[in-house]
Chains A and B, each alone.
Chain A
Amino acid sequence: MRFSRKIKLAIILLVSAGLNTSVIAENKILVSLLDIHQVKNIAYVSFNQRIDLTPELFGALEKGIPLQFNVNFQIIEHNKFWLDQIVLMKKGTYQIKYKNLIQQYEAININGDKKYFSEIKDGINFIENVKEWNVGIAVEPIGNLVMSLKVKLDKSSLPKPIQLNIGDDIWKLQSDSIVNIIETGN
């Protein structure tokens, strides 16, 4: 009986070790003011975001670990009788990195502009503010279109041991999916 109790305990521990990632609360990126507009058949997306870096992430950044964020933008057409269809999909990245040699933060925004900052907050501000992000050829505004956007810290850019350490959740930094209805203008 005692033996079976021990086995049960071991099973519970192992399973909880495998699944605890979903239990621990996630760090957040708050995305707001998502907007899309069209200029000469080219769609541009703008949004604001607030990236709250934890002290652990600051520490990692100071150690030279680059923090790269992936932005996933989609325009989806809702279909009442069939599956939703992805009309447009665009992925973007921006990152911030501390350069030890020059003792400055190198920030590259979503449009690929690179700047150096002495203060981290300036670097974060630089990548937070997304304006006129070219997401491709504009789609015809017909039907029920919604746009969705999600920002997520790209773990694949982290050192491999950190990636494989599935129990370490300080790297789980992402936003909720922001969904806005696209005004058709009709």
Chain B
Amino acid sequence: MKYLVPIFGLVGLALLIMLARSLANTDLVSTESFRLLFIFNVLFIASLVFLIAHQIFRLLKNIKKEIIGSKLTLRLVISFALMIIVPVSIVYLVSVSFLTKSINSWFDVKVESALEGGLSLGQKTLNILMRDIELKGRSMAYSIGNAEEGERDSLLRDMREKFIIDEVILYDQKINILGLSSANKSSVPTIANYEHIERAGRGFYGVIEEFDDTIILRAYIPVNFKNKIAERGYLEVRQPIPTEISSLAISVESVYEDYQRLSYSRKSLNIVYTLTLTIVLLLAILSAVAISFVISRKFSEPLAQLADATKQVAKGNFNKIIPEYGKKDEIGTLVKSFNSMTRQLDIATQNDRKNQHRVELARLFLDTILTNLSSGVIVVDSDQKIRLYNLAALTLLQINKQIIKNRVLDKVAVNNKELSPVLEFISSYVLAKGKSKDKNREYKINTNKNERVIRIQINSIRNDRKNNYIVLIDDITDVTEGQRHQAWSEVARRLAHEIKNPLTPIQLSAERIEHKLKTKLNDEDQTILSKATNTIVGQVNALKTMVNEFSDYARPPKIEKNNINVNMLIQSVVDLYEPVGINISIKQPNQVLMVMGDENKLRQVFVNLLENAKDALVDERKPQITIQTKVIKGTIVIVFEDNGSGVPENILGKIFEPYVTSKSHGTGLGLAIVLKIIEEHKGSIEIKNKRLGGSKAIIILPMSM
């Protein structure tokens, strides 16, 4: 289409020129060529119409599809078309009117009348001359008719010379020449037409003939011979009219005929010129409209590209570059500026994306840190809304499956009553705008029958002209427990030290008193003395036992590690309890399970646990203890189970603390010591109640290779 329109334009121009030349010089162009040219022009016009219709259809389709630039192209095409059609149409109308008037003005009535007058004059002159010839001919015919046969030739000559006639011929009825006289001796007489002779029989027949520039008058007159009544002759009088008169008459005739021919062709002339002008008009308008499509598209194309590129930029595509084609006009400058702008935008966007990516990475890093942080973190804004928190915070505060982001602290507190003190503390700190000196607090939170101790620490930060508050939540249960154990150990150690030292002298003194006084007293007193002494010794021993247990609990962590076969150790401990009457079953794998540890200490652990189980099975009709050892993920798991009464729920959470016991006897240090020994062996222990009754102690120890 890009080249089709210019080609069409050139062909149209060529056809226009040919049509114009054919009209300007009709001698050069034959009728057939003109007809062919006309048909070519009509076909070309039809092609142009088709081309324009196709262009319009395509343009309307583009407008319907909302292709950028199509509306502008349409406007430009309409503008160009109007700019062409209006003046050309005016010129056309004026030209047609002018042409028609001009052609009509050629045929002036006066000119026609003058020409007709001239021709009529010529005709009348010829008629007068013919009448003159006729009169002369009749006179000659009369004379010859009355003359003798032998005198005819001389009479013909004499009368011809007398009347100044060019040629006289006498015929008989069979058109035989009876006599002839001619001014031109060498001329050969032309034989008369029989038809002329026949017509002359009626009295007279005159013929005017044109030969080149000469007009000849022929008069045929019948001759009645006086002595031959039955016969009749015919006289032909031939007289050319004078050259001056004939040439003038022929010239008038020629002009008259030309005028008449032209007058007759007037209608055709009008039609031909009007048709040609119409074709020229159509060719000019249609070619111009077709070219206007190309020009309009040329104009609108960069603007359309610009608009399209602007849309692309609006969508965020900054790679769109408009071809510049080296144009130095305003549009070229605009395109260059636009390309420069998009390039800068592209660079800025890329930098922005990089920054966003960096920020995202930093946020992800922070998220990862917060997620993996064992401490809970909550960020609260000045409106007491929770802006940020991590999983640890939810876990520590025991807030399960709740979305607390952007929620106000009060609303969180409504759903979590046990957290009210914590949230109130945070809220009060926020309300004080961080000016409160009370930044740290510890709270006990009971969940799942466990008591956990958490520490809340608040700091205020200023970000983007707003105050935000970072709440750090730490689980300090282990720390407090450790501190408590340490305190208990210290108490036990001092008690053991302070109490154990005087016990031996007390016991020895009591025994010495009994020994010295026993013999000196009567039986009744001896019995009293012996009873008192035994009581002192028994209580001292009881105190010693208690002190020893304290000592064990408080002793520094000192163990002698050896490779111990756990299964064998358990079996040896169980053997001690055979006579007790409790069914103890052992489930052990065939594999030898070795532990690097202190045999005596571990034995103490197992004995302690069996003792606790035995105590729990006192009222049980079918007491049953099960000991199971197994290997899980490279560790030895030892499980002690019984079907006893289980551990009271209220002490289950702090069962390993000193002096926590459900039994009426005992120091309450057994499980505390067990925990200490297991921890010294880098293991762990857990005690829980079974669902169907009884308790279960699970010990995990690292396996020795």
Minimum CB distance partner of B45 in chain A = A14
Complex CA distance for A100 and B35, rounded to whole angstroms: 33
Q: What number of residue pairs across chains A and B have CB atoms under 8 A from each other?
A: 114
Q: Given A101-B253, A116-B209, are A164 and B264 also a contact pair (CB < 8 Å)?
A: no
A39-47, A152-160, A178-186: which lies at the B interface? A152-160
Bound together, the chains give a CA A21 to CA B257 distance in angstroms of 28
A15 touches B46 (CB 8 A): yes
What is the chain B residue whose CB lies nearest that of A62? B260
Question: CB of A144 within 8 A of chain B?
Answer: no
In the complex, whether B261 has a CB less than 8 A from a CB of chain A is: yes
Q: Are A102 and B49 in contact (CB under 8 A)?
A: no
Residue among A15, A17, A18, A60 with the most chain B CB within 10 A? Answer: A18
B263 contacts chain A at the CB level, 8 A cutoff: yes
Q: How far is the CA of A34 from the CA of B272 in the complex (A)?
A: 39
Chain A hits for B38, CB < 8 A: 18, 166
User: Given B46, B49, B57, B210, which contacts A101 in the complex, CB threshold below 8 Å?
Assistant: B210
List the B side residues contacting A168 at CB < 8 Å.
268, 271
Neighbour of B210 across the interface among A11, A106, A164, A166, CB < 8 A: A106
CB closest residue in chain B, given A163: B31
Q: Does A65 contact B (CB under 8 A)?
A: yes
* A14 and chain B: residue at smallest CB distance: B42
Chain A residue, CB-CB nearest to B271: A165
Asked if B265 and A159 sit within 8 Å, CB to CB, the answer is: yes
**Which residues in window 42-65 of A have CB below 8 A to B?**
59-60, 63-65
A102 touching B271, Cβ below 8 Å: no
B698 part of interface (Cβ distance < 8 Å): no
B147 within 8 A of A: no
Contact A63 B208 (CB under 8 A): no
B123 CB within 8 Å of chain A: yes
Question: In the bound complex, do residue B46 and residue A100 qualify as a contact, i.e. CB atoms below 8 Å apart?
Answer: no
| Interface residue total, chain A, C-beta cutoff 8 A | 37
- Asked if B510 is at the interface of the complex by the 8 Å CB criterion, the answer is no
Chain A residues contacting B362 (CB-CB under 8 Å) are none
Residues of A within 8 A of B27 (CB): 160
* A7 B53 Cβ-Cβ under 8 A: yes
Whether A101 touches B126, Cβ cut-off 8 Å, given contacts A64-B257, A65-B264, is yes
Question: Which residues of chain B in 290-318 are interfacial with respect to chain A, using CB atoms and an 8 Å cutoff?
Answer: none
Quick check: A155 and B260 within 8 Å, CB to CB? no
Contact of B252 with A165 in the complex, beta carbons under 8 Å:
no
Q: Verify if B34 is at the interface (C-beta below 8 Å from A).
A: yes
- Tell whether A137 is near chain B: CB-to-CB under 8 Å: no
How many Å lie between the Cα of A115 and that of B119 in the bound state? 21
Asked, given contacts A101-B253, A102-B126, A164-B34, whether A159 binds B261 with beta carbons under 8 Å apart, the answer is yes
Closest chain B CB from A112 CB (angstroms): 14
Q: Inside 8 A of B26's CB, which chain A residues have their CB?
A: 160, 163-164
Q: A161-B269, A164-B268 are in contact. Are A14 and B46 (CB under 8 A)?
A: yes
B39 at the interface (CB under 8 A from A): yes
- Known pairs A102-B208, A116-B209, A166-B34; A15 contacts B253 (CB<8 A): no
User: Chain B residues near A38 (CB, 8 Å)?
Assistant: none
Q: How many residues of B contact A (CB 8 A)?
A: 51
Taking CB atoms, residues of chain A closer than 8 Å to B126 are 101-102
Q: Report whether B208 and A100 are in contact in the complex, using a CB–CB cutoff of 8 Å.
A: no
Complex contact B272–A159 (CB within 8 A): no
Give the distance in Å from the alpha carbon of A135 to the alpha carbon of B260 in the complex.
Answer: 36
B252 lies within 8 A of A161 (CB): no
B56 is an interface residue with CB less than 8 A from chain A: yes
| A82 interface hit (Cβ, 8 Å) | no
With A64-B257, A64-B261 in contact, do A101 and B268 touch (Cβ < 8 Å)?
no
Q: Most A CB atoms within 10 A — which of B46, B52, B250, B256? A: B46
Which residues of B are found within 8 Å of A164, using beta-carbon distances?
22-23, 26, 31, 34, 268, 272
On whether A162 and B268 interact (CB within 8 A), knowing A101-B119, A102-B210, the answer reads yes
The answer to whether A100 and B253 touch (CB under 8 A), given A164-B26, A165-B272, is: yes
B215, CB-defined interface residue at 8 Å = yes
Q: In the complex, what residue of chain A is closest to B249 when comparing beta carbons?
A: A101
> With A and B bound together, what is the CA distance between A95 and B538 in angstroms?
178
Report whether over half of chain B's contact residues are helix, strand or loop; otherwise say mixed: helix
Q: Inside 8 A of B53's CB, which chain A residues have their CB?
A: 4, 7
Q: Which residues of B contact A100 (CB under 8 A)?
A: 119, 253, 256-257, 260
Decide yes or no whether A3 CB sits under 8 A from chain B: yes
Question: Does B30 sit at the interface, judged by CB under 8 A?
Answer: yes
CB atoms of B31 and A18 under 8 A apart? no
Give the residue name and chain of the A residue nearest to B40 (CB): A18
List residues of A (115-151) whose CB comes within 8 Å of B's CBs.
Answer: 115-116
Within 8 A of A (CB), among B214-261: 215, 249-250, 252-253, 256-258, 260-261
Name A2-37 residues within 8 Å CB distance of B.
Answer: 3-4, 7, 10-11, 14-15, 17-19, 21
Could you tell me the distance in whole angstroms from the C-beta of A147 to the nearest C-beta in chain B?
A: 26
A103 within 8 A of B: yes
The proximity string for B residues 7-24 relative to A, scoring 1 for CB distances below 8 Å and 0 otherwise, is: 000000000000000110
Q: Does B122 contact A (CB under 8 A)?
A: yes
Interface string of B182-212 (1 = CB under 8 A from A): 0000000000010000000000000111100
Q: Which residue of A lies closest to B119 (CB)?
A: A100
In B679-697, which residues have CB < 8 Å from any A CB? none
**A11 and B46 within 8 A (CB):** yes
* B49/A10 in contact, CB under 8 A: yes
Question: Which residues of A are found within 8 Å of B74, using beta-carbon distances?
Answer: none
A162 / chain B contacts, CB cutoff of 8 Å = 264-265, 268
Closest residue of chain B to A18, judged by CB? B42
Q: Check: A78 CB closer than 8 A to any chain B CB.
A: no
Binary contact readout B92-135 vs A (1 if CB under 8 angstroms, 0 otherwise): 00000000000000000000000000010011001000000000
Contact of A99 among B23, B39, B210 (CB under 8 A): B210
Q: Using an 8 Å CB-CB cutoff, how does the interface string of B57-73 with A read, 1 for contact, 0 for none?
A: 10000000000000000
A160: B residues at CB distance < 8 A: 26-27, 265
Question: Closest CB-CB distance, A98 to chain B, in whole Å?
Answer: 9
Decide if B256 touches A64 in the complex (CB within 8 Å). Answer: yes
Q: How many whole Å from B277's CB to the nearest CB in chain A? A: 13
Q: Which residues of A contact B271 (CB under 8 A)?
A: 165, 167-168
A104 an interface residue at 8 Å Cβ cutoff? yes
Q: Output the nearest chain A residue to B253 by Cβ-Cβ distance.
A: A101
Q: Report whether B31 and A155 are in contact in the complex, using a CB–CB cutoff of 8 Å.
A: yes
Q: Which of A7, A19, A161, A165 has the most CB of B within 10 A?
A: A161
Docked complex Cα distance between A106 and B39 (Å): 37
A21 CA / B253 CA spacing, docked (Å): 34
Q: Which residue of chain A lies nearest to B269 when distances are taken between CB atoms in the complex?
A: A161
- Contact status B253-A99, CB under 8 Å: yes
**A14-B45, A163-B34 known; 12 other A-B pairs, CB under 8 Å?**
A14-B42, A14-B46, A15-B46, A19-B39, A59-B264, A63-B263, A64-B256, A65-B261, A100-B256, A102-B208, A159-B262, A162-B264
| 20 A-B residue pairs with CB within 8 Å | A17-B275, A18-B38, A63-B257, A63-B260, A63-B264, A64-B257, A103-B123, A104-B208, A159-B261, A159-B262, A160-B26, A161-B265, A162-B265, A162-B268, A163-B34, A164-B34, A165-B267, A166-B35, A166-B38, A167-B275
Question: Which 10 pairs between the two chains have the least Cβ-Cβ distance?
Answer: A64-B257, A165-B268, A101-B253, A161-B265, A161-B269, A18-B42, A163-B31, A102-B208, A63-B260, A160-B26
